[in-house]
Each structure stands twice: as structure tokens, then as C-alpha cells.
Structure 1
Amino acid sequence: MSNRLIKNKTCVVVGASHAGVNCAFALRREGWDGDIILYDADPLLPYHRPPLSKAYLTSDDGIDKNLLKSAESYDKEGISLNLGVSVKAIDRTHKNIILGDGSVQSYDKLVVATGARPIIPSIPGLANSNNAIPLRTATDVANIRHAVKNSNKKLVVVIGGGYIGLETAASLKKLGAKVTVLEREERILARVTAPEMSAFFQNLHLENGVEICTNKNVIAIETNNGEKIVCCDDGTCYPTDIIIIGVGIFVNKELAMAAGLDIENGIKVDETAKTNDEDIYAIGDCTFHYNPHYGRYIRLESVQNAVDQAKVAATSICGKETRYDTIPWFWSDQYDVKLQMVGLSQGYDQVIVRKENNDNKCLSFWYFKGEILLAVDAVNNAKAYVYGTKLIKSGERINKEKLLDCEEDLKIAHLISPINS
């Protein structure tokens, strides 16, 4: 699409987190000369989300220290940023969106970047319990900080032993809280990693004074003489001042669904981030997209995916050939541990655990399906993360015996097996 064709055109982006903001700025870089209009229901300037459960929670910084872009950047690029504004409908026939106040904004191209929201489980007593807080937004973090600061006992129960729950537990421990994590499954991180990795993080939290309790299904929140008590179906109870809810997310797909866009575990998009409507794209946590490397559709909750899809959508909207073909990567910071993950481990039939120089805090987990390397989880081990990324991309066969030999230095050339071996 030439500049002549995209002049005097309007691209509307619904959602101004990582995906939406990066798409707006990428549109300008790719040559979109028309209007770019961003809408988001959050009244705050768009901010980085990964630090919310980590460094941002433990600091006294305001949101201005955590912004995706400065306010001046939007003005400089001619991007209209509209905050605290909800979008209630998409009218595909007339190519416009209906805002919360009933006003209408037309579009030539529309990008849906509505993300996700935390699941608030229907536990009796939870809705009426003060200081029961999810962690998804900067406002949530402000509420958690305030609750901890004003709590005498600083007793915290985290419901959910996924990455968000564990990162929040680690951060709250730094703030002086006494933290208990309740996980419904038989192990923490059960849906995303191997038992060996779950055991590593369980031990890490225990070493740092956080109690991890698995097979705990919370069935009620009771109040006794002003004290909150979290009750589980096995009869155990946990007194607390603050409850952190970290049991997962709902995709914000209602807007797209009502507009008749294809929905399948999110908003279904092709390799250019385009929906079943030629003029509507979707990006970020809300999308269900095809990954050529793994040969299947997936939905990812990660900044990497949000940023990469944003660039692909912007490039496609500007009429240039492109396709999404990225190896997913993630990270998590807990205490003195930096976890870097690359690839998707689902479907693995073997996991190799490698410790560097017998260091229990520098190791890596290599997930295989047969001879195919699917993913690598690297703990305080940037070299394993880098090599793992290269090997997943190349598809080269790995010598598992050398990988297992922790006495041998981790070198990518040593790990590659001859083709005929």
C-alpha cells in the first residue's frame, strides 16, 4: 500500500498496553501517514506490566517511572491517545466503533488489542472481603502497597501458584510480609512446566520463608472477630490480612465476539494478525494465532508476543509483506533468581536437567519430544537461554549425552550431533 493510499486514512487501536502502543508507533515507522487513534479504559498513561509483580511492587515509584512512552512521544508522532475511554461496540458494516458515551469514531483499519482481565473466582465471602486484590494493573499494585503498609500483622495469602502468584509472593516477602501460597493443583506451575522445575521453585520459596501449600482448593473466606480466614476443602484454614488473587485470566474477547469476529480460545488471526474481517486486526494476549514453528494455533500471554504481533500488524496494515514467525520467550524474576524461558514445552516426553559446575542456582531444563528440542528454561544461565534459542530455531539434533555431562562446558558446537549419528 503506497503512502498515497494511506494518507487521510484512520487507524483506530482499541487497547493501549504493550500491543496497542507498540502497534501505533510501528504504524508511523512503517509509513502510515493518516490518523492513529488509541483508546484505553485505564486512565493512566500506558505503562510496562511485567514489573508490576516484581520491582515496581517493591518500590515507591509512581507510574511515571514505568511508562511505555512519554506523553510527549504520542504528540511527537501525531498519535491521539484517549485514556479512561471505553469502547462498547464495533460496527463492521459502517466501519466505526461506538464509545462508552455513545459517540462514534470511524476507521479505515481497526486493531483490537483488548488484552485480558484477572479471573475473580466465585468463592463465598471473597467479593465482600476487603483487601482481596488481583494483580493486573498499576491501580492493583497501589492497592496492594497500601494494604501491606497499613497492615499490622502483614499476613498475606496468595491464591494461585502460577508465575504471577509466585512473583508477587517473592515481592511481598521483600516488603516484610508473612506469605502463604495456596495452589489447587498437586504442584505449583503445574500447567506450564516440568515437575523438576516446580520442585526448584517450591524449594526456592521455602528457603526464603514463603509457605507453599499444594492441593489446596479454597472454598470460602470467613470473618471471625474482624479477622479474615481462608478456608480450604480439606478443612485447613489460614488467617490473613490480605488476599492476593492470582488464579488466571479471562481473554477480553466480548467486543470482538459481538462484532462477529472468529473466536477460538481468543480472537483468531492469521499470520499477519488479521481477523476474518479484512480491515480488522487483533494483537496481544487476546489473540489465538498460528505459529509456523510449532505447526499449531496458540495463545500467549507475554510482552514478546504483544510487541512482535504489533510490528507484524503494523507492517501488514501498511501494505508490506510480513508474517508472524517467532519463537516465544518469557521471563520471571523471583528473589535472586532470573528465569529465562524460550519455546513451548507442551507435548514434551523428556526433560534433561543440567547444573553448571554443580551450582544449584545455575541450571537449565531442556524439553524434548523425541529428538526435537521444544523449549529451554534457564535459571541464572543466560548462555543456556541463548544456545537454546539458536538450537530451537535451527532444529539441529542435539547430543543429549553431552548435554547431560555437566563437567563439559556448555558450548553449542559440542551439543550438535552429526546428521548421520
Structure 2
Amino acid sequence: MRKLIFPLGSTAPFIFTQPAFAHTPEPSQANSHAWAIVAIFVASLIYLEGLRRIAARDALSRIAGPWRMAAFAAAVAVATAALASPASALGEELFSFHMAQHLALMLICAPLFVAARASLIMTWAFLPFAPLLRSSLQALRAPWRALSSPLAIWLWFIGFFGLWHLPGLYLWALRNEAAHALEHACFFASAYAFWSVAFAPPRRGTLGYGGRVLFVASAALLSGLPGALISIAARPLYAPHAMATLRHGLTPLEDQQLAGLVMWIIGGLAYIAAVLALLALWMREAERKALRKSRAATTLVACMALSAALTGCDDAALWRGGQAVAGVNVGGDPQKGAQYIAAIGCGACHSIPGVSGASGLVGPPLDNIGRRVYIAGLLRNTPDNLEAWLRDPQKVVPGNVMPNMGISEEQSRDIAAYLYTLR
């Protein structure tokens, strides 16, 4: 016997139908969730390997500080409690608890993983395979850009949330362990991408704060709609929990109403908190811009004078300690510098002549860098400036796309010596 959820006629697809209460079998997976335990364990191993490689470059404090590692530990704890703990068995019996699991995954775990820089740190674990992965994924670059645009991510996030809460698909996921794993993977992946866009470091190519507020607020409005509809429905829409709810002293309709309120109210509060955080960041950025403009007039004359003094230098003969750079040793070993460049993996982002496998397209090519006037478009191209940029680019230009690679003073001197041979 079939019971229609919506009056779509006898040809309504399975996703809008479910069995009547009297014939509803118990969910089949019995809360094993072995896939969740395996996924959490593997992700933790990859993250720890990434931390190990970062620590080997003495860059742990700059790339993954204590609070980021604490965020990852908290995310793992919440994911374990929601998906792989004895308490998670309630998700198979109570619809309201199952909805709380989904919100924990999307609104707690995913933002914590973003705060932990999980994707960046995990990438370090695969650094030895960077040339192979780069060549293998080259053909996917164009479709990946289309699928990872802010609009596409917003559509994935809203679409998966609404789709998997259709009664038919929800019942399929509840009865089939593989479908259940796919459901939660869709929720987490789309949420991780969503919060990565919302709280990405501000730089060229990312949404401005106004766009981010609209990005999150519109998602909040549409994500709360299913919860509102579920909470005001006049009859139960999700039959699989009908018998189990009675064992917990709830009627199926009460359990459904509670689930709707969890999705609508509790989820809405999380989105409101995110919007308020973005507004605070937006105001702080506006204050910084106003302060920079107020200082512009007083620093203009000094900048012009400094620029005039610097342009008086011969571009073919930069100076370090009284020695000209062009054709003269600047204090480092170019051969060691080339070896350091290959070992650190600079070629994953830059095209560097003379370094095997250095054909990256993320950053600018470094050919002829020895004859360039400026570094990163801001710093005069001197050995001291180049070495400072190599050791800590985030300190020189905060928020730029080049990460701190943990390069020591001696390594930076040797790398600079090699780069100045590229003329």
C-alpha cells in the first residue's frame, strides 16, 4: 500500500511517496555507521600527515596555529558524536534527532573544518605527488572553476539540503547504508564549500563582504523553508519513524514538529550568527579603508620622494653590502637554492627555469626575475627585500595568496642567489 505525500496523481515519482505507517519496516542499517568512523579516521590521518610536513618546514605556527588545530579537534569530536557515537542511534528512531545530526554536520562541523584550514593542511600531505596530480587534473581545471564558483556552490548547498529532505529520498537513505553515506557526504561537502566562500580571506577574485552577507542570508531563508513547512504540516510526512517515536513518548506528528523547529529556529540562529560575524568583519574592513585614505595625503610626498630615490638606482646593478648583485655572488649558493626550490615545492605554483618539474600556473612565472624592478608589485627588487618576501610573504603583504613555506634565513639567501641568476 502506497501513501502519497503530495497530491501529484498515480504517476508521482518515488521521491514524493512512502509506505503507509502500518507497513513501515524498521531502518536496515541499525546505526552501524562504519563508513563514518572510517571517514573521520582517514581524514584525521591525512590532516596529521599534513601537519607533520608543515612542521618539518618550521611553518607550523604560521600555517596551522594552535587555535586552528583546536578547531579541527572540535570538528572531529562533533562529527564523532553526531555520526559514530552510541547517542547517534537516536537518529534512526527520532526524526528530530536526525535533523539535529544534519545541522551539526552542516552548521558546526563544516565551519570548524574551514577554520582549521583543513583543505590547505591536507594538501600538504600529498605534496610529493603534486607533479602527478597537477598533470592528471589539468583537464578538469575549466569545469572545476565553473562548479566551484560562488553561485554554483550556493546552488549545490541549497539543492542538496532540499533534495535529501524529500520524503522518498530520505526514506531511501534511512534504509540503505550506502545512500546514507552519500547523503551525509553531500551535506558536508556542500557545506564546507559554502562556508569556505563565506569566510575566505579577502582578496581579489573573492566575494566582497556585501556579497557574502547576501550569500549567507539568502541561503538561510531558503534553508529554513523546509523546516517551516515540516513544523506546520497537519499530518506526519515521514513514516519510517512512526513506530519508534511512540517508544520515546512522542507521537509521529510531535516528533515531526520538533524536527521542523530544530531546522527552522536552531538552524536560523546559526545563520544569524554567521551574518553578524560577516557584518562585523565588513565594518572593520571599512574602518581600515577609511584609515588608509586618511593617511594617504600625509604619505604621498614621502612615497614620491622614496620612489624617485629608488628609481635612481641602476636596475642592472642592485646592491647588497656594497656588492653589486648582477653577475656577483649575493652571499648565497645558487646551486643549493635550486635544490631548495625543488624540495619545498615552489614549482607547484610557479614556472621556474632550470628547476625540474617547476611548471606551476597558480603564481606568476619567475623567469627574468633577476631583472625585474619590483617584487609582488610593491617591493623594490633588492636581495634583502626578496629574502624577506621568501621567508614571510604574509608579513610583507598580509592576505596575499602566497603561503608562508617555513623558509629559513639561510635557505632564503640561497634561493635568492639562484633567482638572481634568472636574467
Tell me if TM exceeds 0.5. no
| TM, length-normalised to structure 1 | 0.23
Return the structure number with greater relative CO, CA threshold 8 A, min gap 6.
Answer: 2
Give the structure with higher Rg (CA).
2
Q: Looking at secondary structure, tell me which structure has more helix per residue.
A: 2
Instruction: Give the strand-richer structure, 1 or 2.
Output: 1
Q: TM-score when scaled to structure 2?
A: 0.23
